[in-house]
Structure 1
Amino acid sequence: MDEALLSDDPEAVQKELDGGLQLSEYLNRGTLQHLYNKAFEDATPKQREAYVFNNLVDRCLDQGKYEGHTVLHVLGEVISQDLIQDYEIPNIYDDDNADRPLGFHDLLLWAIATGRVRLSRLFWNLGSDQIVSGLVASMMFKFAAEHLPNDIYHADQRSDLFKLSKEYQELAFFVIKECYRLDKKETSDVLVRQRRDWVHIAPLDAVDMAEDMEVMSHAACQFTLNNIWTGRMASHTPTWKLVAATICPPVLFFLEYVEEEDPAHEHEHELSLWDKVKFYFTAPVTKFMHSVVSHVLLILIFSYMVLFELRPLSKRPVGWAEGLMVFWIAVLGLEEIREMVDKRVLIQTWISNVWNFLDVIIVGLFQISFVVRLCMDRDFEKQNFQIIRILYCLTLIFLCVRIIPMFYLSKNMGPKIVMIRKMVGDVVFFLSVLVVVAVCYGVTRLALTAPKNEFSPGILGKVFLIPYWQLHEQMLDLEEGEGPDLPWYVDFLEAGYMLLVAVMLVELQVGLFEYTIERVQERSETYWSYYRYDMIQEYQDRPLGPGPFLLFGLLWKQWELFTGIPTSSPFRRTFSGKVETKLCELERKAVSNVQMKLEKGVYKLRGSAEHSSPEAGVKLGSLRARMSSMEGEMEAIKSLLQDYSKK
């Protein structure tokens, strides 16, 4: 079996399995460790360069990390931390869980890490949990491609790895598609069922880890997200009813709720009033609406405070609005800390999210401003109070910007936010080129028109301001040496600058904006479907309570943690024996259908040579026949030349 595995021979491996080899008896941590070591030892230098995961393991060992742990443990850390940086998953090969039984998914990881491409497909077929397996395989191939040297010598290898990544992503997508075709309701459960072999992650988690917009936008994933979004309320509940319940809470008793299926009971019991209250207030959509209302109220009160209350302490004490803002924003700061601790991610990873970073700025800037305001002495306060006002106004600006991600949940406005984000990159490109051109023109123009200037900070302003205002075709205040009597070559310089910047660069920027808008608009629903996942998950995990009342929700969360009250997440669920068996059968049937449809050509893997079209096969056969004919003719010519040379 070892020889068949190391030689990347799926036929030989299948023959061993058909011959009665029990994988549970053959495969253990020692065997798997031996396979990794042997594969790396037998690899050529070129192959070792492509073994990205092995290279990362060696780097960790050389740096002294994970001292005292096995190589498998280090590999598990690489997979859980380097492969999936922004997501918390346990180490699949943790030494503390060394007695975990191994299976085909472990051989799949081995095959991918050691470049056994043919075996990876075999183990994907033989294993279970093909959705998660396919998405993890897709991530690993993509990760390996991105960590190869980006040069011409590795271009083909990188391209092949990206194709393999796409292939396994499509395999997972086809399985989800087949499950949804067979049973919509059970597919929703399949997507959130925790997989023990994959450290209890669910397929929907894996889709998010892989950052796969195509899979996330499929109807099966969106159907599941809709169910999570409305909680135990009916997913078809109109928005106006939810808004009415937010404004007038008694309306919640007239909303439609769904009873969770319980296989142990044949009949559903009627929900109590308390059940309706609990289901309404714990639904992510309710938390979102309360959050929107409270954030708008926060902006209004903050604006009132800045406009009418903010005065030096010597003239007016801290008002009610400012006191409320201190408490409210402090609660928001506690919520950010709770979110970071619950996700158990590194601070730099958490801060890498632009909205988390903005939250930190809002909380930090306001609290620092308030503390400085209290610590000011009266003389300093009279002279520099405008600084405090500026800091408070900056906080207000950031608070207004912070409401933008809430638009992601709107199918119409969400893609527009994506457009704005992508256009920021276009603006950075434009400004980079503009700075180069403006400095070149500004320095040259100033040197030609005012050669006797002495150095001063104002000179630097002229270098940038004159080109900037000319870009907007604004008239400048003419100074000495500037005006109609400028030398002719300065006029030509200005004309060239206006032609280059005001015409070419501006038109280029407009074209880039149009291209970005068209590109996002074509996939607007895909972008909306993908970004709403993070928003739904955020509000699912968010404590109860709008505005400053969020403090009570935070205290309840801590009480649950302290007392060990079990909590469950609709994104990761466990099912009873019969239900789980039924879901496994559905997934196995879907995998069987996918394999059958791949063989028949109903499903085609893009970029995969083994699934080329029949027309391509006919053309290839014709080409081979012609090559064979030419080869025969060449042999005949060769023999004639030999006979001629003998004569």
Structure 2
Amino acid sequence: MCTVACPSTRGPAIQALYGSSVGCRDCLCSGYFEGVRDAKNRKKKFEDTRKIEFKHVHDLLLKLTNDEYDEPDYSEKEGLNISSPDKHLFMWAVLLNRRSLAILFWKRLATGNIGAALIASRILRALAKYAEKIKDLRLQSSLKEHAEEFEGLAIHLLESCYEADTKRSVLILVRPLPAWGNTTCLSIAYSAKLMNFMKCDCCQRKVYEVWMGYLSIYSWKQWLAFFVGIILPIFPLMSFRGTENKDDTSSETKSFANYFFRCGSSDCRNKDLVVRRDLVVRRSGFGKKDVTFWEGMRYYYTAPITKFVYSLVSYLILLVLYAIFLLTDLRPSEEDDSPSTIEWVVIFWVCTLVVEEIRQLLVRKPKSIKRKAISWPYVRNLFDFLKKKTINWSSDVWNRFDCVMYVMFAVSVILRFTLPPCRFAMARVMYSLTFILFSIRLLPLGFVFEGVGPKIIMISRMMKDLRLFLYILMIFIASFGIANEAILNPNVDSSYNLIFRSLYKPYWRLYGELLLEEDEELVGNTTVSQDPSLMNVCPQVDGHQWVAPTLTAIYMLISNILLVNLLIAMFSYTFQSVQDNAALYWKFYRFGLISEYHDRPTLAPPLIIINHVYNLIICLKKYGLDNESSSLCVNLKKVDDEALNLYEKKHLQNYFIKKKRQQIDLTEKRVDKVINEIEECKNGSQAGLKRVEERLLTVEKTMESMGRNIENMLKIMKRKK
């Protein structure tokens, strides 16, 4: 009925469906809609309190999907002209947690079924978190089950496509979805933390292709050539992958500088293996066109794995230089040759890293804003645009860590140039603390390695356990420390050092430093006979010498035995929970690091500033970031996109047909099992009747023999008489 209705009449009908959700107890959208509506219309009073506008739905979807979902049909001008009612009915069913209706409308979608399932799973997970906040456990469980069901549908559909055609399935993951904000399936799965989807073979194959770029490394000799290529340009000895399309010569003839200085790892089309012949590399399958030295150089330096290695080496050099000037040549600026050359190099190096962080912030979604005349609405729109980017960028804990690290480094540099020599130690302390943060920043680089990545996750989760443990520990440290200090050192003058002195001993006793000598050296009244005013600060130990040692013993029993073993048990549980799913966590978090280095410029810091200047010039010319194809977002032609939609739709139908067949087979098996049980019962009853008849015949024969025996006995008795 919705599919034949006029587009102008579909909007009010769907608005009425959303309006009916206000006050509904089975979903959370009522509270969301009311909150968004009140925030957007504080100065307005609705005559109809149940009326929901499309802009409220749009704001809700942006909030649940972290600004990834963008729907032009929900804008104020086009909100009543619905072109695809099935998609909007699907979103309505998902938001209201109508499971059967959501699956029904999902099957009816014309495009992007896998992406729609992932979007639905993300929305339902966000709603489940909100249900957890309001302590609605029943609704939280229902929403989680609904989200897992859609994630499972996406996984089964992707696996069905992957079994039939691997290349098309990989393209499904990285093609933009116009119906869902031009995002990709991989981006949705990563942002929603759908780890089970990310561990699929199809996803991992694409992640590996992105990580290797054009490089084709399958043996130790090729790995040796790769690492030697970091120092010496031996590109003809390496193997590469070439483009699949023979006619695609535009990407091959692009200038070397365009690929060398631009962000990303160039074009991402399906590639075939390249075979080395003599000192050149040839593509197999379509002629003998050679990969030239410059092409090999471009393929090598634009591969994310190459960028990672160069960035790692560059960062290690930065730490070495930082440590050198911090240990040997950090002097006040009033002295000669201060700051040193190494310090200036480190400062410039860190500035290039800050610029790279700013670039990462700007390239995050949303990609760009519409060009308008300079006015206050445009400026306000620009502020909202930057605010969304900042929120999106700060959602990653390591980005927040980078922000703190760079701020501390900036403070260190400011103190280094402003403090006088008598207070220069403060700048040295800030530099030292910042060096610790720079060293810790090496940890996330371990996500590349399967053995190190899960350990980093364990450390992060154990830090959360430690934070909860410190709350419990501080209660016992403060209580026993203050009590012990009050007994041993009464009536002391109040100062800031008093709190430190009260917590000093109980804290170090956790690590085995008992400090009993200080407690046992009690001062007697005779030592202060010359100054009677000090009698009030002497320990009052007459008849109470046992109190302080007893408190110390009780504290040691609780802290060193009970609390420490509690912490060990918490760490053991966290370790085992991560270790049981180590491969799952590693495959998921590795994608984040690979995508970062995929979008990263070719050159490593500090030479990365050349990339930034080049990209800035290009952006100023084009006024905004470009939307060219990359390995993680492939822009297809309309014909190819429609072919992928048909391919995905075909396997969707095949999946549900297969599922129905499985249900029919399962039903047949159950019917056969019931029939067999009935037959067994029937056969058992017949066998039972036969056994009863046999027993009756046996009884009759026994009775007859007994009757004959009685007759014989009577005859014998008559003869004797």
Give the equivalent residue in structure 2 for 1:306. 326
1:427 and 2:466 are equivalent in the alignment: yes
Output the CA distance in 2 between the equivalents of 1:428 and 1:97.
Answer: 50
**Aligned-partner residue type, residue 208 of structure 1:** Y
Tell me how far 1:227 sits from its aligned partner. 0.7
**Aligned-partner residue type, residue 464 of structure 2:** G
Question: Is the alpha carbon distance of 1:585 and 1:47 closer, same or farther for their aligned partners in structure 2, counting shifts above 3 Å?
Answer: closer
Among candidates 647, 657, 677, match of residue 586 of structure 1: 647
Question: Is the alpha carbon distance of 1:125 and 1:53 closer, same or farther for their aligned partners in structure 2, counting shifts above 3 Å?
Answer: farther
Question: Tell me, which stretches of 5 or more residues in structure 1 are unaligned?
Answer: 2-20, 605-610, 623-647
Which secondary structure does the structure 1 equivalent of 2:230 belong to? helix
1:356-414 C-alpha deviation (Å, 9 max, x unpaired): 223223333223322333334xxx22x11111211211221111111111111111111
Which secondary structure does the structure 1 equivalent of 2:660 belong to? helix
* Superposition pairs of residues 145-294 of structure 1, within 5 angstroms: 145-148=128-131, 150=133, 154-234=136-216, 236=218, 238-248=222-232, 250-262=233-245, 264=247, 267=286, 269-294=289-314
8 A contact 2:348–2:606 mirrored in 1: yes
**Aligned-partner residue type, residue 359 of structure 1:** D
Give the equivalent residue in structure 1 for 2:556. 498
Among candidates 389, 408, 418, match of residue 375 of structure 1: 418
Output the CA distance in 2 between the equivalents of 1:257 and 1:525.
Answer: 28
TM-score, structure 2 normalization: 0.74
Which secondary structure does the structure 2 equivalent of 1:26 belong to? coil
**Aligned-partner residue type, residue 609 of structure 2:** L
Identity over aligned residues, as a percent? 24
Among candidates 496, 502, 515, match of residue 457 of structure 1: 496
1:127-149 C-alpha deviation (Å, 9 max, x unpaired): 13211111111122222232237
Question: Tell me, which stretches of 5 or more residues in structure 2 are unaligned?
Answer: 47-51, 249-284, 366-387, 524-540, 678-721
Output the CA distance in 2 between the equivalents of 1:323 and 1:617.
Answer: 83
Give the equivalent residue in structure 2 for 1:94. 75
Output the CA distance in 2 between the equivalents of 1:401 and 1:169.
Answer: 35
8 A contact 1:36–1:114 mirrored in 2: no
Output the CA distance in 2 between the equivalents of 1:330 and 1:59.
Answer: 44
8 A contact 2:332–2:417 mirrored in 1: no
Output the CA distance in 2 between the equivalents of 1:449 and 1:32.
Answer: 78
Tell me how far 1:524 sits from its aligned partner. 0.8
* Superposition pairs of residues 108-119 of structure 1, within 5 angstroms: 108-119=90-101
Output the CA distance in 2 between the equivalents of 1:151 and 1:303.
Answer: 50
Which secondary structure does the structure 2 equivalent of 1:478 belong to? helix
Q: Which has the higher helix share?
A: 1
CA radius of gyration, larger in: 2
Question: Is the alpha carbon distance of 1:233 and 1:63 closer, same or farther for their aligned partners in structure 2, counting shifts above 3 Å?
Answer: farther
Give the equivalent residue in structure 2 for 1:330. 351
**Aligned-partner residue type, residue 287 of structure 1:** K
1:134 and 2:173 are equivalent in the alignment: no
Output the CA distance in 2 between the equivalents of 1:477 and 1:457.
Answer: 24
1:449-473 C-alpha deviation (Å, 9 max, x unpaired): 3333332333312321111122222
8 A contact 1:178–1:590 mirrored in 2: yes
**Aligned-partner residue type, residue 490 of structure 1:** A
**Aligned-partner residue type, residue 445 of structure 2:** M
8 A contact 1:253–1:276 mirrored in 2: yes
Instruction: Indicate the RMSD between aligned Cα atoms, in angstroms.
Output: 3.2
8 A contact 2:236–2:296 mirrored in 1: yes
Give the equivalent residue in structure 2 for 1:364. 407
Tell me how far 1:109 sits from its aligned partner. 0.5
Output the CA distance in 1 between the equivalents of 2:501 and 2:53.
Answer: 62
Question: Is the alpha carbon distance of 1:515 and 1:45 closer, same or farther for their aligned partners in structure 2, counting shifts above 3 Å?
Answer: closer
Give the equivalent residue in structure 1 for 2:38. 59
8 A contact 2:65–2:123 mirrored in 1: no
Tell me how far 1:616 sits from its aligned partner. 13
More off after superposition, 289-298 vs 263-272 = 263-272
Alignment coverage as a number of residue pairs? 583
**Aligned-partner residue type, residue 481 of structure 2:** G
1:415 and 2:454 are equivalent in the alignment: yes
1:28-55 C-alpha deviation (Å, 9 max, x unpaired): 3652343233442476553575535433
Among candidates 538, 541, 545, match of residue 596 of structure 2: 538
Question: Is the alpha carbon distance of 1:166 and 1:612 closer, same or farther for their aligned partners in structure 2, counting shifts above 3 Å?
Answer: farther
**Aligned-partner residue type, residue 267 of structure 1:** F
Output the CA distance in 1 between the equivalents of 2:77 and 2:245.
Answer: 36
8 A contact 2:332–2:424 mirrored in 1: yes
Tell me how far 1:480 sits from its aligned partner. 6.6
Output the CA distance in 1 between the equivalents of 2:567 and 2:314.
Answer: 38
1:194-243 C-alpha deviation (Å, 9 max, x unpaired): 22222222111221132111111111111001111111222647544332
8 A contact 1:227–1:235 mirrored in 2: no
Tell me how far 1:558 sits from its aligned partner. 1.5
**Aligned-partner residue type, residue 76 of structure 1:** H
8 A contact 1:176–1:187 mirrored in 2: yes
8 A contact 1:142–1:161 mirrored in 2: yes
Tell me how far 1:181 sits from its aligned partner. 1.4
